[in-house]
Structures are given as C-alpha cells and as structure tokens.
C-alpha cells in the first residue's frame, strides 16, 4: 500500500490522507464487486440476509471433501472411483463463478469406496482412499498435478479379522509439519459379537490398540505404516470431520456416535431415545485425550457421559464418564457431521472470523422419526471455545421438509472449503453439486435481524427435536405398508396373512418373517421358486420378485407384515433394503 499512496500523490498534487482514504474505499469496493453474481434462487439454499450462493457445477458424482487452491481451482475427492479417475479438478476461467473446465484425474490402484480427504498443504494435494493417504505436487498455473503420486500413510490394519466399518480417513495438518489421520472403530461398540442385540462389550476393548483414535505422522515422509505413527488420542469411535485450528493450535474433531440403541437394548431405550441418542460430539482433541469410546457415550439432553449398556449402563449410570474428554457441544444423534472448517477470511462479517462451519451429512437410522441433519451449521468461537450457541448457516439441501428415508433427500452436505477471497465452498454426496457462498452486503449492518431468519429454521423437521407422539411416522408407514400389502401380496397370502393353505405359506408367526431381515428382503427382491418349509409345513409355489418396488415401498411392506398378523418384530428400514440391493448388484457384476 506504500507504493500505491505515493503514486496517488504524484497523480493528484496535494492529495492527502482524505484522498487516500477515498481511493482505498473505492479500491476495496471494486474488489468486492469482482465477486460473481449469485444465482437468483441462491442455488436453492436458505442463507442469512445478504449472503448469496451460486452453483459452481451441478453434478460431479459422489463428492466427499474438497479443497480450493490459491488461484481458485477446486479439487474434489470422489467416494466411488471412476474408471477415468478418482479425483476431480475444476477451473473457472472467466471468473463468472461457474465451472469452465472439469477434469477427472488420478488412478491409485486401490479397490473399494470411501475415499474421503482432500486438502492442500505446502504446495501438495493430499487426499485419501479407504486405505491410504496420498499426495501429488501442484504446479502453479496447471490445473492437474503432473508428478507421480506418493503414498504417505498406508492403513495396514484395514482388513482386520472382523472387518473395518469406519474406514473414512479425513486428514489435518498442524503448524509443525505433522499429519493427523483417524483410524475408526472396526465395529459399533466393541461387542464380542458385533451389532448383536444384548451382546456384552469387551473389556478391555482390544480394538483400541489400532483403532478408535487419531494417529500423528510426518506430513512429508512417504511410505509410513500405522505403526510408524504416534497414537495422539483414543476413545473416538468414528471421525469424518476434522481440522487443525491454527489460531489456537489445536485439533478439533466431530465424533459419530454409536447406532441402534433401541434395536440393541429395547428394554432400556425407546425408539425416540434411539433417534436422539447418542450425541454427535464436537471435540477439542489434545495430545493424550481419551473420549471414552466404547465404554461411554454422551447424552446431550442430560449433558453427561453415560455408561454404555454393553458395559452395564441403563441410560442413567454415569460410572467414570466425567473423567473422559467432554464435548464442546453435543449435537443430536445421527446428524452425521462430516466436515469442519474454521473461517479465516475477511469477506464475511467479523462475527464469522475464527468460527467453525460444520457440514451435517444427515441421518439414516432415525426411523420411525424423520431423518435429520442435512444442513450447514456455524459455531462462533473465542479463545478456543464456542462463544455462543450453534446456528443454522445454510439449509435447503434436502429439498423436502420431512425426510422419511435418506434416499428422499435431494442433497447431503459433505465437504467445506474456503477460497482465496474468503468465499465458502460446499460439496454434497448425492450428485456432486458444488456451491459457492459469498457475502456482499454491509458487514457493519449484519446482525441479529439476519440471524433471526436462520434461527427459525431450527423448527424445520430436519433440524428440530421431534415430538415423541406427533412426529412418530410409524402409523403412516404401517398404513402405507398395508395398502402396498393389499396391492402386491394379499392375493396369495390373504388379507389375514394366513396364506391359502396349499401353495402360499402363512405370514403369521412365520420364522421367515420374524427371522433374519436380509433373507426376508431378498425374498422380495429375488422372489422364490420351489419348496419352502414354514412352521413345519411344506409349500410348493412360485413368488415373482418385487424388485421393481422402491426401497421405501419394500421396507413398508415388510414392516407391515412384521407388525401384523400376531407378529411383533422390529421394522425394516429403507437403508437396509438399499444395502441388500447394492450387495446383490455387486455380486452380479463380479
């Protein structure tokens, strides 16, 4: 700015501080006007007053995390590798905010999904597959990396004996050249029999030796295995959103809580409690931290860490829960916080500086209550702790008010990144749409009036605490299932579910209906042909597949028959049908 001031005086004789101030105002106003116009509908998003959004690109595939370079190029990690590449690079050449160049790149020789991380650090693009952290050098001016890739860390335990459920690998870098990688838990809550109702937890939990924590590595050293790293923190089940906050020099992470408390312990937890619990924990992770998994979970309604039922808990017992790392915020259960970013730019109003943006990917297992999440939150920060309650920053991703099943959500927020001008970029995982959020209004005029508009969004079904009675969707689901049963099943199995006594078996108290859900789902997806024994009696008939029905419709039919005709079994969820259907397709492709 010194040179600029002297040139001003040369051009305008006698120009003094007032002229300099005027020209500076003009200069910064022009700079702000260089931001592209937002879309007329803000890309379908609800934002605080005077924020604008535009859609950079409408569909890239299942996008995970993303990063933005110093010149504004965007890099996206794909969950499902394409034959043409596992990452995407995007360039806006004419500065209108829209993608002009979209390129797939990178083949790294690893099968499977769950690539997650995408970050830029010291001139390198760092990203992860399910089992590795990889980097490639970025060349100034070039959109695509030109050098060969280097494998920085390999997860040599990912194919452990009993599988590896939480395999996503977000990454973070501190101020001293260290790389942080979480290694999620292989199972839900370290049971002797994983996800088996009533099965006890293992104590001590052997999974904690190599899982359920965060490891620290050298960010510049290729060829590291997990054993070459240092276990920085433990007792954290699953992390997808994680970032180092350079302002206070600490690691922050968002823990995904355990699943299915009602299904696993129906005498201790109601379906409503299972929808709300356990908390998704916002953690400030320091060296040596222990957040208590699998022994403890956080109940945001009681504001306490409680003993898990697998270890003798009953929804009230605290045990030694207070001795473990406590969350800064306990968000409602199953919202799936999948990325976090501490805002460093100057484009947004001052209150956002240093605060945390969090992407909630949205729930899958809140049934019979509406699925929840699917929005971007903001947490104001001061001195390393939240300075106020969390806020709704961006909503409207789900496209529907009440989400019965996850597949109905239009978009699911996944990644957050900041551009060089302070714009915020959001990725989503359903179609790979990318938004750019900008602020062009008066920073001084931004305040409670604008925030109040977003506070009202907390009453939306995808964010509010559901009413235990009014928001229970089970009656509607059973009603819909009954209509579908009459249309597709009653002609053979009869309206009373007792079958015809010769060819078509009864559904009442049938071991096929009350048994393994996967087997039952496959009967509707694949049909049956030949003999079948039900309650000791043999039936010989043919049932055509009902695979033309949606996942939700199949779940409704099966929930109906498992809840009627004298049957009392837990519901079948649409996401369970979806998993079985996807598994069948994969086996057919092999």
Q: Which of 155-159, 198-202, 501-505 has the highest mean pLDDT?
A: 198-202
Q: Residues 409, 485: one domain? A: no
How many domains, in total, are found in the chain?
A: 3
Residues 452 and 530 in one domain: no
547 within 8 A of 526, measured Cβ to Cβ: yes
Residue 487: pLDDT over 60: yes
pLDDT score, position 503? 80
Residue 540 is predicted with a pLDDT of 81
pLDDT confidence band for 501 (50 / 70 / 90): confident
- pLDDT band at residue 590 using 50, 70 and 90 as cut-offs: low
Q: Residue 17 pLDDT > 70, yes or no?
A: no
Query: Are 60 and 7 contained in the same domain?
Result: no
Whether 452 and 480 share a structural domain: no
- Cα separation, 173 vs 238, whole angstroms: 19
| CA distances in angstroms from 288 to 251, 256, 294, 464, listed in the order given | 12, 20, 17, 35
**Does the residue 466 lie in any domain?**
no
**How does pLDDT run across 205-220, given as a tens digit for each residue?**
999 999 999 999 999 9
User: Half-sphere exposure (CA, 13 Å, Cβ side) for 268?
Assistant: 18
One domain, residues 480 and 455? no
- 468 is a domain residue: no
- Mention every residue, 6+ apart, whose C-beta is less than 8 A from residue 70: 420
3-state SS of 523-585?
A: HHHHCEEEEEEECCEEEEEEECCCCCCCHHHHHHHHHHHHHCCCCCCCCCCHHHHHHHHHHHH
Does one domain contain both 195 and 304?
yes
Distance CA 293, CA 238 (A): 10
Residue 17's domain comprises 2-33
> Are residues 310 and 205 part of one domain?
yes
Same domain, 448 and 481: no
DSSP string, 232-281: EEE----EEEEEEETTTTEEEEEEPP---HHHH-TTT--HHHHHH-SPEE
How far apart are alpha carbons 366 and 518 in whole angstroms? 19
* CA 18/CA 548 separation, integer angstroms: 73
| Mean pLDDT score, 288-299 | 98
Residue 52 belongs to some domain of the structure:
yes
Whether 500 and 429 share a structural domain = no
284 and 267 within one domain: yes
CATH of the domain at 110: 2.120.10.30
Q: Is the pLDDT of residue 367 over 90?
A: no
Question: Based on the domain organization, do 320 and 421 belong to the same domain?
Answer: yes
Is residue 125 in some structural domain?
Answer: yes
- DSSP element (H, E) containing 307: strand 304-307
Give the distance, in angstroms, between the CA of residue 189 and the centroid of all CA atoms in the same chain. 19
pLDDT computed for residue 159 by the predictor: 56
Structure confidence at residue 111 (pLDDT):
59
Establish if 326 belongs to a structural domain.
yes
**Residue 68 in tokens:** 């933005």
In a domain, 487, yes or no: yes
Q: Which two tokens stand for residue 317?
A: 């017992």
- For residue 25, pLDDT beyond 80: no
**27 and 46 assigned to the same domain:** no
Nearest alpha carbon to residue 524 among 496, 502, 552, 500? 552
Domain boundary among 431, 459, 487: 459
Instruction: Write down the mean pLDDT value for the chain.
Output: 91
Report whether pLDDT(7) > 80: no
Q: Tell me whether residue 366 is in a domain.
A: yes
176-180 average pLDDT score: 98
Q: Which residue in this structure is represented by tokens 């957040």?
A: 291
Residue 163's pLDDT is 57
Can you tell me the mean pLDDT for 277-282?
Answer: 98
d(CA 63, CA 361): 12
Confidence grade of residue 284 (pLDDT, cut at 50, 70, 90): very high
> Is 155 a domain residue?
yes
Interatomic CA distance for residues 196 and 260, integer angstroms? 11
**Entry pTM:** 0.87
H or E element at residue 2: helix 2-11
């Amino acid at each position: 700015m010194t040179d600029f001031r002297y040139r001003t005086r040369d051009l305008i004789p006698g120009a003094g501080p007032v002229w300099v101030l005027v020209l500076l105002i003009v200069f910064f106003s022009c700079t702000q006007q260089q931001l592209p116009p937002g879309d007329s509908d803000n890309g379908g998003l609800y934002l605080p007053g005077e924020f604008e959004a535009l859609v950079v690109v409408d569909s890239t595939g299942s996008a995970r995390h993303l990063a933005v370079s110093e010149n504004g190029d965007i890099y996206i990690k794909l969950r499902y590798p394409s034959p043409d590449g596992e990452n995407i690079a995007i360039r806006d050449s004419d500065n209108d905010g829209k993608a002009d160049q979209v390129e797939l790149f990178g083949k790294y020789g690893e099968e499977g999904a769950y690539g997650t991380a995408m970050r830029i650090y010291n001139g390198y693009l760092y990203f992860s597959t399910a089992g590795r952290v990889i980097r490639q050098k970025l060349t100034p001016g070039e959109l695509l990396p030109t050098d060969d890739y280097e494998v920085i860390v390999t997860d040599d335990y990912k194919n452990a004996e009993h599988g590896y459920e939480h395999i996503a690998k977000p990454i973070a870098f501190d101020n001293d050249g260290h790389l942080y990688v979480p290694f999620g838990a292989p199972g839900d809550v370290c049971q002797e029999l994983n996800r088996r109702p009533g099965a006890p937890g293992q104590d001590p939990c052997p999974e904690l030796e190599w899982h359920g924590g965060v490891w620290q590595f050298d960010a510049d050293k290729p060829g590291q295995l997990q054993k070459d790293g240092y276990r920085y923190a433990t007792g954290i089940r699953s992390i997808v959103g994680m970032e180092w906050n350079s302002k206070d020099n600490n690691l922050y992470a968002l823990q995904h809580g355990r699943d299915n408390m009602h299904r696993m312990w129906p005498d201790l937890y109601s379906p409503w409690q299972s929808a709300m619990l356990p908390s998704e924990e916002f953690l400030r992770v320091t060296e040596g931290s222990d957040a208590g998994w699998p022994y403890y979970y956080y109940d945001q309604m009681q504001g306490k860490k409680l003993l898990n039922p697998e270890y003798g808990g009953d929804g009230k017992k605290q045990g030694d829960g207070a001795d473990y790392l406590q969350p800064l915020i306990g968000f409602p259960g199953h919202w799936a916080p999948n990325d976090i970013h501490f805002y460093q730019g100057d484009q947004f109003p001052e209150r956002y500086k240093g605060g945390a943006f969090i992407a909630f990917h949205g729930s899958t297992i809140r049934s019979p209550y509406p699925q929840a999440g699917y929005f971007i939150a903001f947490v104001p920060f001061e001195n390393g702790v939240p300075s106020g309650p969390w806020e709704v920053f961006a909503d409207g991703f789900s496209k529907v008010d009440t989400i019965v099943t996850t597949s109905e959500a239009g978009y699911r927020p996944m990644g957050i990144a900041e551009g060089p001008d302070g714009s915020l970029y959001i990725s989503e995982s359903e179609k790979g749409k990318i938004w750019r959020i900008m602020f062009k209004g008066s920073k001084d005029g931004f305040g409670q009036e604008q925030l109040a508009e977003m506070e009202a969004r907390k009453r939306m079904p995808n964010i509010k605490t559901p009413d235990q009675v009014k928001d229970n969707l089970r009656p509607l689901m059973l009603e819909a299932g009954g209509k579908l049963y009459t249309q597709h099943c009653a002609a053979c199995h009869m309206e009373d579910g007792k079958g015809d006594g010769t060819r078509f078996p009864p559904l009442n108290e049938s071991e096929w209906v009350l048994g393994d859900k996967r087997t039952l789902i496959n009967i509707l997806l694949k049909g049956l042909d030949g003999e079948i024994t039900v309650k000791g009696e043999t039936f010989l008939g043919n049932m055509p597949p009902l695979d033309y029905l949606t996942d939700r419709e199949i779940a409704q039919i099966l929930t109906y028959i498992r809840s009627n005709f004298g049957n009392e079994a837990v519901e079948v969820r649409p996401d369970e049908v979806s998993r079985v259907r996807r598994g069948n397709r994969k086996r057919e492709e092999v």
